[in-house]
Amino acid sequence: MKLIAKKHNVGGTVLLAICDPDVLDKTLTGPKNARFMIRRTFYGEAEVDVEDLVHELTGAQSINAIGRKSVEFLLGRGYGNPKSVIMFGDVPHLIFMKI
């Protein structure tokens, strides 16, 4: 399975952004009509094999994922809690922070 991913370094904090290829470049509407734009500048453009992402997860302090495959990938590896998932229509979104 391949996902879109991009690593950011923000003030010494590593943030990993992950999304499903099929939601890239879309704008979704969620709770209270909140709009969510899935942009290449944040999530990246390159498809990455999930086996390669496992290593990236360990070095990230914050992980932002949108899309069914991306969120299931994180939850399946113990990152986040299903109760923390926010739905944008039928597309799940999860933000996880290590503290």
Per residue in 40-75, pLDDT (tens digit) is 999 999 999 999 999 899 899 999 999 999 999 999
**Beta carbons of 60 and 15 less than 8 angstroms apart:** yes
Q: Does the predicted TM-score (pTM) go above 0.95?
A: no
- CATH number reported for the structural domain that contains residue 13 in this entry: 3.30.1860.10
Given a cut of 90, whether residue 22 has pLDDT beyond it is yes
**Residue 22, domain extent:** 2-97
**Beta carbons of 66 and 36 less than 8 angstroms apart:** yes
Tally of domains in the chain: 1
Given a cut of 80, whether residue 99 has pLDDT beyond it is no
Rounded distance between C-alpha atoms, residue 87 and residue 79, angstroms: 17
Q: Could you tell me if residue 12 is left (phi over 0), alpha (psi between -120 and 50 degrees) or otherwise beta? A: left
